[in-house]
Amino acid sequence: MLDVLKVRIYPNKEQEISLTKSFGCSRFVWNFYLNKTNTQYEETGKGMTYCQMAKDLTQLKKLTNYEWLQEPTAAVLQQSLKNLESAFKNFFSKRTGFPKFKSKHSKQSIRFPESCSIKDSGLKLPQLGIVKASLSKNINDKIKSVTVSKTSTDKYFAAILFETKDLTNTKQGKISGIDLGLNSLVTVFDGEICYKVDPIKPTRKYAKRLRIRQKALSRKVKGSNNRRKAVRVVAKVHEKISNTRTDFLHKLSRKLCDDNQVIVAENLCVRGLARTKLAKSIHDAGFGMLLNFISYKLETEAGKFVQVDRFFPSSKLCSFCGHKNDFLNLSIREWICPSCQTPHDRDENASRNLRSEGIRILSTNTAGHAEIQACGEAVRLVGTCAKKRQCGLGEPVRSWGFPK
């Protein structure tokens, strides 16, 4: 199997100049052939394949005005063309949007698909030699490729793709259900105890600092050196927010994966939630990032990550008797079951139901198919907007699966 290790690298001045040239040439090749492919498609109805673009690039390097394309390694530019072809394939497969032109003012990256190795506690790259790197672990397996990136704060990172041995299923632990929310980021029930983890809200924590930096940026003259410095200062604040959130989610997901063999969570539509009035809080919580971290960490440790259908009524079901409370809305955080008179905390009850549903899915091998659906007349408030969104047969529109 393949694994990735992202490390920070510290190139010297000569290596920085070489990387800057490689970034520029790779970006130019992408933009040049993206424009050429679009033009050819408008004229003939057919785009350009990778072989056609690579053949044309070889002739383009021989022209006097484009001799500078020979400075970086040919594999870097060819990899840029392969990425462009993959972007078009993903677009036509409806997996992503149309490829966009790259800018030199955003994050820069190139990929070295060959001739990379670890030597003298550094990373050896073509034409660059040994680059000082902060390696967190030893890599003794074959390196497939290395992707070097530069952030807007002038920091360099290298993502090393290498081969590892397949893991055997030896992990032992508990089965836990986790419920995602905004008041409590996760509510975990492992079959014995139930506990909550509060969100850190980094965007709101650094909002004042970001506002001051952005006001200073707005007063700078466009195109001036002071404005470029101010842009970098603002970028550092955004990087601080991103790093704080990522570090917290990494630590939280690591704790969950170390304590559990199977984790059950709800498959929320984060993209849909990001279009609501709770968008800022949704992005700040990082639901998708947390689920992604849990998924790949369990996979590397031979664990299992089970996602329950988003329309499973985890909050409305009584975890003791199974009664479904159709009149439960988002404002109610605690409720009493009208059937068995059991008091419930909304988040804890949801985590219990998710764990039970995950065990049922594992035992029956029916992933993604819930026995009980939340869809019905009481899913959302019946109003003018809801009636307009209903189809001609009167079937209610499916909700986005709001966090509990």
- Two tokens at 7? 């490390």
Burial class (CB in 10 A: 0-12, 13-18, 19+), 282: buried
DSSP 8-state secondary structure symbol assigned to residue 206: T
Task: Give the list of residues 6+ apart from residue 383 with CB closer than 8 angstroms, or none.
Answer: none
Say if residues 256 and 178 touch (Cβ distance below 8 Å): yes
Going by their DSSP bridges, the two strands 129-134 and 2-10 should be labelled as antiparallel
Please check whether residue 133 is in contact with residue 7, taking contact to mean a CB–CB distance below 8 angstroms. Answer: yes
Identify which of 349, 346, 372 has the alpha carbon closest to the alpha carbon of residue 360: 372
Q: How far apart are CA 235 and CA 215, in angstroms?
A: 13
Q: How many Å apart are CA 113 and CA 119, to the nearest integer?
A: 17
- Token digits of residue 311: 């329309």
Nearest alpha-carbon partner for 357 in 298, 307, 304: 307
DSSP string for residues in 233-247: HHHHHHHHHHHHHHH
Q: Is 228 helix (H, G, I), strand (E, B) or coil?
A: helix
| Segments in 321-404 forming alpha helices (H) | 346-364, 384-388
What amino acid positions are annotated as catalytic residues?
Answer: 179, 266, 347
Beta carbons within 10 angstroms of residue 192's beta carbon: 7
